[in-house]
Structure 1
């Protein structure tokens, strides 16, 4: 299988600055979702775990409102970080979770840029009315390719491979129906030291899917879905739909965004369902187009799409934080869910996501 070379970096993401609220032309952020993106991919240009830690610690020193917490360790002993903005425990709280799957990194790059964004004057007053929690790299071992199984068939080039599963080859997004004490270390840390510890109202679980999903003959930039297990509190489901509505209206307004409905399962082992059922937290799955690495080449997206995907992450985080802070999430129009098409796959391969 041919190697690919990825040429995006956190540094390139930083060039966007705090652009989350401004619509920009497709050409400024890449070629948009209808681009095939089959050029080279080099993972060495993606931020590493150590670089992420350095970045977070520098931001903590620069931002009075930011506090870092180590919530646990990965299988290989890497600290798992939680970035916290808690001005008032009584405020509504949203948690953003990235890289349950280690090969889905552009959402993490966007989350790190958003943390920088929260330290600027552009969000003045917002953090007084909403608490923000961010786990920017839950599966750090997978993100670094430091795993107990072979990655020789993975597609990307660049010195390291990124794997979906953790070092023990467990899918962390299939852990959420277990007893907490029986979970893999990364999932245990999330449940024990975040979900059980903080009073969380909303959660967005950011993932990447394959490259071939489409609606109306056009590749999607991503897909979204609320919890779908029948045992979940209907009020939680409705609040999840509101969270999705904020994201949908924000991304579709940009001109380069194109979202479909994700074909997700109903199992409680999936975070979208299990977390909603166990903690009564409104949850939204956001699957962005294309992975950073995989053993199956069509799942991996090339460099020219990275700009808008990172931008899409920033816009998602920014719009939901603002909507919760000003209360507009309560009156957002959710009727689009009734007509939003399920995405379909352009090629005859099962899409790996969630």
Structure 2
């Protein structure tokens, strides 16, 4: 890429620029879970923590044991002492980890995971049965229950039943998707899920998020979903991490091919920034980044297990008050269909035959550099 220039932005990230790109006049960054689309907020189709528990129990009962629902209490509870719920379905040798709502205001992702579990628990269709024969799904519908209840992106740290206070007298909060790092794990949530991940040792992972408003490059179409990798393909880190530079691109292309012809879906590659200045993220503190890097925190992952991972970014969030009831169903459905597609591709092995270089066919703005947290 030639000479690069590194600066640190106010958000705490480092931006790595290709030579010839200027940072002057740079607009505010669009970060994962950041400012969102315009519209009217509706909670009608959103799932609360209590809703999730009830729905999981109903799914387990209806599935007649096909879906196993359980808490992670053996690993710990949330900062506000809530149980984490997980579900397992399938009998196949390939383990796929699916997580949603690590940011508390990204709520439609939880509904999509629950819809998937419901279908896979009750459907006897040949395509579902073929997936479950080859894959075992480990699903976390709500990674951040405290943040979901507070309707905040982050979560609040607690001590002795009270919020921890910083030097400014305000409550200390943390973005759970920046807490899987050697100097991280400040939140109880992070350690619980890290221990569980280290025990499961999945082969693949998919992480569901929401993002801000943007349009597909070269069009006037509002992006409904972006496909991303937290360690940028062809970027500073991923090409040297096993073969994940190829497999994560293959995963994205497989999902893109499955969804691109739906008329209400407008899909592109995930980038941050604004205007013509767009950057791919290369963050090492993100949960799925740590998975790909094989993080061994406190010797809890001594074999340095790692797995490839991608994420979906759906437009809108509830903190900004801009999820419209009419669009909620479409946005949830695209996540559900994307999950089902990648599971089919993994189960059948078809994802491995995709040309990773076709990743360039997924619409994206010209690359201005990389946004980093290291």
Tell me if TM exceeds 0.5.
yes
**Match for residue 59 of structure 1?**
59
| Alpha-carbon separation, structure 1, partners of 2:365 and 2:192 | 33
2:309 is matched with which residue? 283
Instruction: Kindly indicate whether residue 218 of structure 2 is the aligned counterpart of residue 225 of structure 1.
Output: no
Q: Aligned to 1:334, which of 356, 359, 373?
A: 356
Please tell me whether the aligned partners of residues 276 and 283 of structure 1 are also in contact (alpha carbons under 8 angstroms).
Answer: yes
User: 2:323 pairs with 297, 301, 313, which one?
Assistant: 301
Give the Å deviation of 1:42. 3.2
Q: Give CA-to-partner distance per residue, 1:167-193, whole Å, 9 cap, x none.
A: 33210110122367x341111111101
Q: Tell me what 1:208 maps to.
A: 210
- Runs of 5+ unmatched residues, structure 2: 1-35, 158-172, 272-279, 295-304, 367-374
| CA RMSD across the alignment | 2.3
* 1:80 correspondence with 2:88: no
| Residue 65 (structure 1) shift | 2.0
Secondary structure in structure 2 of the residue aligned to 1:254:
coil
Give the drift of 1:139. Answer: 0.5
Give the Cα–Cα distance (whole angstroms) in 2 for the partners of residues 312 and 250 of structure 1: 10
Partner of 2:48: 48
Structure with bigger gyration radius: 2
Q: Distance in 2 between matches of 1:234 and 1:261?
A: 22
Of 272, 282, 289 in structure 1, the residue corresponding to residue 288 of structure 2 is 272
SS across alignment from 2:199: coil
Match of 1:253 among 247, 255, 261: 261
Secondary structure of 2:281's partner? coil
Instruction: Show structure 1 runs of 5+ residues with no match.
Output: 1-35, 146-161, 345-354
State the partner residue of 1:107: 109
Q: Distance in 2 between matches of 1:339 and 1:121?
A: 35
In structure 1, how many angstroms separate the alpha carbons of the residues matched to 2:136 and 2:130? 12
How far is 1:212 from its partner?
A: 3.1
TM-score (norm 2): 0.71
Contact 1:49 1:143 in 2 (8 A): yes
CA distance in 2, matches of 1:86, 1:179: 35
What is the aligned partner in structure 2 of residue 165 from structure 1? 154
Shift in CA distance, 343/101, structure 1 to aligned 2, threshold 3 Å: farther
CA contact (8 A) 1:68 1:82 kept: yes
Matched with 2:163 is none
Closer, same or farther: CA 44–258 of 1 in aligned 2, 3 Å: closer
CA contact (8 A) 1:233 1:280 kept: no
CA distance in 2 between counterparts of 1:117 and 1:292 reads: 26
Tell me, what secondary structure is at the counterpart of 2:282?
coil
SS in 2 for 1:43: coil
Are 2:178 and 1:174 equivalent residues in the alignment? yes
Q: Deviations over 1:132-178 (max 9, x none)?
A: 11100000111111xxxxxxxxxxxxxxxx11001332101101223
Residues 105 and 292, structure 1, Cα contact 8 Å, conserved in 2: yes
Cα deviation 1:283-321 (Å, max 9, x = unaligned): 102111111223xx6xx3322221211110110111111
- In the alignment, the residues of structure 2 paired with residue 277 and residue 321 of structure 1 have an alpha-carbon distance, to the nearest angstrom, of 22
